[in-house]
Structure 1
Protein backbone atom coordinates (compact mmCIF):
# COMPACT_ATOMS: atom_id res chain seq x y z
CA UNK A 1 0.00 0.00 0.00
CA UNK A 2 1.36 3.43 -0.90
CA UNK A 3 0.95 5.83 1.98
CA UNK A 4 2.92 8.60 3.62
CA UNK A 5 5.14 7.08 6.27
CA UNK A 6 3.90 9.32 9.06
CA UNK A 7 2.94 12.74 7.79
CA UNK A 8 -0.08 12.86 5.52
CA UNK A 9 -0.08 16.67 5.68
CA UNK A 10 3.37 16.75 4.11
CA UNK A 11 2.27 14.34 1.40
CA UNK A 12 -0.72 16.58 0.62
CA UNK A 13 1.53 19.68 0.51
CA UNK A 14 4.01 18.01 -1.80
CA UNK A 15 1.33 16.54 -4.04
CA UNK A 16 -0.30 19.97 -4.43
CA UNK A 17 3.06 21.45 -5.45
CA UNK A 18 3.71 18.58 -7.86
CA UNK A 19 0.25 18.99 -9.39
CA UNK A 20 0.66 22.75 -9.78
CA UNK A 21 3.90 22.24 -11.68
CA UNK A 22 2.44 19.45 -13.83
CA UNK A 23 -0.50 21.72 -14.68
CA UNK A 24 1.89 23.96 -16.62
CA UNK A 25 2.94 21.17 -19.01
CA UNK A 26 1.33 21.65 -22.41
CA UNK A 27 3.75 20.12 -24.88
CA UNK A 28 6.52 17.51 -25.12
CA UNK A 29 9.35 20.07 -24.72
CA UNK A 30 7.89 21.27 -21.41
CA UNK A 31 7.73 17.67 -20.16
CA UNK A 32 11.53 17.41 -20.10
CA UNK A 33 11.80 20.58 -18.01
CA UNK A 34 9.09 19.29 -15.67
CA UNK A 35 11.03 16.07 -15.02
CA UNK A 36 13.78 18.24 -13.52
CA UNK A 37 11.68 21.06 -12.09
CA UNK A 38 9.22 19.03 -10.01
CA UNK A 39 11.74 17.09 -7.89
CA UNK A 40 14.01 20.16 -7.55
CA UNK A 41 11.09 22.34 -6.43
CA UNK A 42 9.89 19.68 -3.98
CA UNK A 43 13.38 19.42 -2.48
CA UNK A 44 13.67 23.18 -2.03
CA UNK A 45 10.16 23.38 -0.58
CA UNK A 46 10.93 20.46 1.77
CA UNK A 47 14.06 22.20 3.08
CA UNK A 48 12.26 25.54 3.48
CA UNK A 49 9.21 23.99 5.14
CA UNK A 50 11.41 21.87 7.42
CA UNK A 51 13.35 24.95 8.44
CA UNK A 52 10.12 26.79 9.22
CA UNK A 53 8.92 23.77 11.23
CA UNK A 54 12.23 23.82 13.11
CA UNK A 55 11.86 27.54 13.83
CA UNK A 56 8.40 26.93 15.22
CA UNK A 57 9.09 23.72 17.15
CA UNK A 58 12.83 23.67 17.81
CA UNK A 59 13.48 27.24 18.78
CA UNK A 60 10.14 27.64 20.55
CA UNK A 61 10.85 24.46 22.50
CA UNK A 62 14.22 25.83 23.59
CA UNK A 63 16.12 22.72 22.51
CA UNK A 64 19.83 23.10 23.27
CA UNK A 65 20.77 20.94 20.27
CA UNK A 66 19.59 23.00 17.34
CA UNK A 67 21.22 20.66 14.80
CA UNK A 68 19.36 17.65 16.18
CA UNK A 69 16.14 19.67 16.06
CA UNK A 70 16.76 20.64 12.45
CA UNK A 71 17.48 17.01 11.48
CA UNK A 72 14.27 15.97 13.23
CA UNK A 73 12.30 18.58 11.26
CA UNK A 74 13.85 17.43 7.98
CA UNK A 75 12.91 13.82 8.75
CA UNK A 76 9.42 14.79 9.95
CA UNK A 77 8.62 16.72 6.78
CA UNK A 78 10.22 14.36 4.22
CA UNK A 79 6.79 13.14 3.19
CA UNK A 80 6.60 16.39 1.20
CA UNK A 81 8.96 14.64 -1.23
CA UNK A 82 8.57 10.89 -0.71
CA UNK A 83 5.04 10.34 -2.04
CA UNK A 84 4.46 13.63 -3.80
CA UNK A 85 6.27 12.44 -6.91
CA UNK A 86 3.57 9.87 -7.71
CA UNK A 87 1.60 12.17 -10.08
CA UNK A 88 4.85 12.92 -11.94
CA UNK A 89 5.51 9.19 -12.24
CA UNK A 90 1.97 8.73 -13.63
CA UNK A 91 2.65 11.49 -16.18
CA UNK A 92 5.97 9.98 -17.23
CA UNK A 93 4.59 6.45 -17.58
CA UNK A 94 1.69 7.66 -19.69
CA UNK A 95 3.96 9.80 -21.89
CA UNK A 96 6.33 6.85 -22.32
CA UNK A 97 3.36 4.69 -23.36
CA UNK A 98 2.57 7.17 -26.12
CA UNK A 99 -0.43 8.84 -24.51
CA UNK A 100 -0.74 12.42 -25.80
CA UNK A 101 0.82 14.90 -23.37
CA UNK A 102 -2.39 16.84 -22.76
CA UNK A 103 -4.26 13.65 -21.87
CA UNK A 104 -1.39 12.41 -19.69
CA UNK A 105 -1.36 15.74 -17.81
CA UNK A 106 -5.10 15.51 -17.10
CA UNK A 107 -4.77 11.93 -15.84
CA UNK A 108 -1.76 12.90 -13.66
CA UNK A 109 -3.76 15.81 -12.22
CA UNK A 110 -6.66 13.46 -11.52
CA UNK A 111 -4.28 11.11 -9.73
CA UNK A 112 -3.01 14.03 -7.63
CA UNK A 113 -6.55 14.93 -6.57
CA UNK A 114 -7.25 11.29 -5.71
CA UNK A 115 -4.02 11.05 -3.70
CA UNK A 116 -4.79 14.25 -1.80
CA UNK A 117 -8.25 12.89 -0.97
CA UNK A 118 -6.85 9.52 0.08
CA UNK A 119 -4.06 10.85 2.28
CA UNK A 120 -6.43 13.26 4.02
CA UNK A 121 -8.97 10.49 4.51
CA UNK A 122 -6.23 8.28 5.97
CA UNK A 123 -4.95 11.04 8.29
CA UNK A 124 -8.46 11.86 9.50
CA UNK A 125 -9.19 8.21 10.21
CA UNK A 126 -5.92 7.79 12.09
CA UNK A 127 -6.79 10.86 14.16
CA UNK A 128 -10.01 9.21 15.31
CA UNK A 129 -12.51 11.16 13.20
CA UNK A 130 -15.75 9.48 12.23
CA UNK A 131 -16.14 8.08 8.73
CA UNK A 132 -18.34 11.01 7.74
CA UNK A 133 -15.89 13.59 9.08
CA UNK A 134 -12.99 11.76 7.42
CA UNK A 135 -14.74 11.90 4.05
CA UNK A 136 -15.40 15.62 4.57
CA UNK A 137 -11.74 16.22 5.37
CA UNK A 138 -10.71 14.19 2.32
CA UNK A 139 -13.09 16.14 0.09
CA UNK A 140 -11.69 19.43 1.39
CA UNK A 141 -8.22 18.31 0.39
CA UNK A 142 -9.49 17.15 -3.01
CA UNK A 143 -11.03 20.60 -3.46
CA UNK A 144 -7.54 22.10 -3.21
CA UNK A 145 -6.46 19.74 -5.99
CA UNK A 146 -9.51 20.77 -8.00
CA UNK A 147 -8.48 24.41 -7.61
CA UNK A 148 -5.18 23.53 -9.25
CA UNK A 149 -7.14 22.08 -12.17
CA UNK A 150 -9.22 25.28 -12.36
CA UNK A 151 -5.94 27.23 -12.45
CA UNK A 152 -4.73 25.05 -15.33
CA UNK A 153 -7.91 25.70 -17.29
CA UNK A 154 -7.63 29.46 -16.64
CA UNK A 155 -3.97 29.59 -17.67
CA UNK A 156 -4.65 27.59 -20.82
CA UNK A 157 -7.59 29.88 -21.71
CA UNK A 158 -5.37 32.93 -21.29
CA UNK A 159 -2.53 31.57 -23.43
Structure 2
Protein backbone atom coordinates (compact mmCIF):
# COMPACT_ATOMS: atom_id res chain seq x y z
CA UNK A 1 0.00 0.00 0.00
CA UNK A 2 1.37 3.41 -0.99
CA UNK A 3 0.63 6.51 1.11
CA UNK A 4 0.25 9.61 -1.04
CA UNK A 5 -0.68 12.11 1.67
CA UNK A 6 -1.26 12.05 5.42
CA UNK A 7 -2.03 14.63 8.08
CA UNK A 8 -4.28 14.69 11.14
CA UNK A 9 -7.52 14.91 9.10
CA UNK A 10 -6.68 13.39 5.71
CA UNK A 11 -5.15 10.09 4.71
CA UNK A 12 -4.80 9.14 1.03
CA UNK A 13 -3.39 5.74 0.10
CA UNK A 14 -3.48 3.42 -2.88
CA UNK A 15 -6.23 1.45 -1.07
CA UNK A 16 -8.55 4.25 0.01
CA UNK A 17 -9.19 7.74 1.27
CA UNK A 18 -10.04 9.11 4.72
CA UNK A 19 -11.40 12.65 4.63
CA UNK A 20 -13.91 14.56 6.70
CA UNK A 21 -14.05 11.67 9.19
CA UNK A 22 -15.22 9.17 6.54
CA UNK A 23 -13.44 6.30 4.80
CA UNK A 24 -13.85 5.53 1.11
CA UNK A 25 -12.31 2.77 -0.97
CA UNK A 26 -10.91 4.12 -4.23
CA UNK A 27 -13.34 1.89 -6.12
CA UNK A 28 -16.27 3.70 -4.42
CA UNK A 29 -15.29 7.06 -5.93
CA UNK A 30 -16.78 7.29 -9.41
CA UNK A 31 -15.77 10.91 -10.01
CA UNK A 32 -13.82 13.54 -8.06
CA UNK A 33 -13.80 17.31 -8.63
CA UNK A 34 -13.10 20.52 -6.79
CA UNK A 35 -14.97 23.80 -6.27
CA UNK A 36 -13.88 27.24 -5.18
CA UNK A 37 -16.02 29.17 -2.75
CA UNK A 38 -16.57 32.90 -2.50
CA UNK A 39 -13.66 35.26 -2.07
CA UNK A 40 -12.92 36.39 1.48
CA UNK A 41 -12.73 40.17 1.37
CA UNK A 42 -11.35 40.14 4.90
CA UNK A 43 -8.20 38.34 3.69
CA UNK A 44 -7.79 40.80 0.81
CA UNK A 45 -8.28 43.80 3.11
CA UNK A 46 -5.66 42.34 5.45
CA UNK A 47 -3.16 42.19 2.58
CA UNK A 48 -3.93 45.81 1.72
CA UNK A 49 -3.39 46.86 5.32
CA UNK A 50 -0.02 45.10 5.35
CA UNK A 51 0.94 46.94 2.15
CA UNK A 52 0.02 50.28 3.70
CA UNK A 53 1.98 49.41 6.84
CA UNK A 54 5.05 48.74 4.67
CA UNK A 55 4.75 52.11 2.91
CA UNK A 56 4.01 54.24 5.98
CA UNK A 57 7.64 54.65 7.21
CA UNK A 58 8.71 55.66 3.69
CA UNK A 59 5.95 58.28 3.53
CA UNK A 60 6.83 59.65 6.98
CA UNK A 61 10.54 59.76 6.06
CA UNK A 62 9.83 61.54 2.77
CA UNK A 63 7.60 64.01 4.60
CA UNK A 64 10.38 64.77 7.08
CA UNK A 65 12.86 65.43 4.28
CA UNK A 66 10.29 67.50 2.35
CA UNK A 67 9.43 69.63 5.35
CA UNK A 68 13.13 70.16 6.09
CA UNK A 69 13.66 71.49 2.57
CA UNK A 70 10.52 73.67 2.48
CA UNK A 71 10.74 75.48 5.81
CA UNK A 72 13.38 78.08 6.31
CA UNK A 73 14.86 76.90 9.59
CA UNK A 74 18.38 76.95 10.92
CA UNK A 75 20.95 74.57 9.46
CA UNK A 76 20.86 72.37 12.59
CA UNK A 77 17.07 71.92 12.42
CA UNK A 78 17.19 71.21 8.67
CA UNK A 79 19.97 68.65 9.10
CA UNK A 80 18.07 67.07 12.01
CA UNK A 81 14.85 66.76 9.99
CA UNK A 82 16.64 65.34 6.95
CA UNK A 83 18.62 62.89 9.11
CA UNK A 84 15.47 61.83 10.97
CA UNK A 85 13.57 61.38 7.72
CA UNK A 86 16.35 59.22 6.27
CA UNK A 87 16.53 57.09 9.46
CA UNK A 88 12.77 56.56 9.49
CA UNK A 89 12.89 55.62 5.78
CA UNK A 90 15.72 53.16 6.43
CA UNK A 91 13.73 51.61 9.27
CA UNK A 92 11.16 50.51 6.71
CA UNK A 93 13.49 47.80 5.30
CA UNK A 94 13.36 45.40 8.29
CA UNK A 95 9.67 46.17 8.80
CA UNK A 96 8.94 45.44 5.13
CA UNK A 97 10.78 42.12 5.37
CA UNK A 98 8.66 41.08 8.34
CA UNK A 99 5.41 42.22 6.75
CA UNK A 100 6.21 40.60 3.38
CA UNK A 101 6.52 37.28 5.20
CA UNK A 102 2.96 37.76 6.49
CA UNK A 103 1.76 38.64 2.98
CA UNK A 104 3.38 35.45 1.61
CA UNK A 105 1.64 33.37 4.27
CA UNK A 106 -1.71 35.00 3.44
CA UNK A 107 -1.30 33.95 -0.21
CA UNK A 108 -0.42 30.42 0.91
CA UNK A 109 -3.65 30.29 2.90
CA UNK A 110 -5.63 31.76 0.02
CA UNK A 111 -8.68 33.98 0.03
CA UNK A 112 -11.32 31.35 -0.76
CA UNK A 113 -12.77 28.21 0.75
CA UNK A 114 -11.81 25.24 -1.42
CA UNK A 115 -13.77 21.99 -1.57
CA UNK A 116 -13.15 18.48 -2.89
CA UNK A 117 -16.26 16.55 -3.89
CA UNK A 118 -16.72 12.94 -4.87
CA UNK A 119 -19.49 10.98 -6.53
CA UNK A 120 -20.33 7.63 -4.92
CA UNK A 121 -23.25 5.21 -5.19
CA UNK A 122 -24.93 7.23 -2.43
CA UNK A 123 -24.60 10.50 -4.38
CA UNK A 124 -22.32 13.51 -4.20
CA UNK A 125 -20.23 13.71 -1.03
CA UNK A 126 -18.18 16.62 0.30
CA UNK A 127 -14.78 15.07 0.99
CA UNK A 128 -12.90 18.14 2.21
CA UNK A 129 -13.38 21.88 2.80
CA UNK A 130 -10.40 24.08 3.66
CA UNK A 131 -9.25 27.66 3.34
CA UNK A 132 -5.58 26.68 3.15
CA UNK A 133 -4.75 26.80 -0.57
CA UNK A 134 -1.33 25.17 -0.23
CA UNK A 135 -2.72 22.24 1.78
CA UNK A 136 -5.63 21.90 -0.65
CA UNK A 137 -3.22 21.66 -3.59
CA UNK A 138 -1.14 18.96 -1.90
CA UNK A 139 -4.24 16.93 -1.02
CA UNK A 140 -5.86 17.25 -4.45
CA UNK A 141 -2.65 16.24 -6.25
CA UNK A 142 -2.25 13.25 -3.93
CA UNK A 143 -5.85 12.25 -4.60
CA UNK A 144 -5.25 12.49 -8.36
CA UNK A 145 -2.15 10.29 -8.09
CA UNK A 146 -4.05 7.73 -6.02
CA UNK A 147 -6.97 7.64 -8.46
CA UNK A 148 -4.93 7.40 -11.69
CA UNK A 149 -4.50 3.61 -11.56
CA UNK A 150 -8.20 3.20 -10.71
CA UNK A 151 -9.27 5.17 -13.81
CA UNK A 152 -11.55 7.58 -11.94
CA UNK A 153 -12.49 10.75 -13.87
CA UNK A 154 -11.67 14.18 -12.53
After TM superposition, the score normalised by the length of structure 1 is 0.30
Could you say which structure has the higher strand fraction? 2
Greater radius of gyration (CA): 2
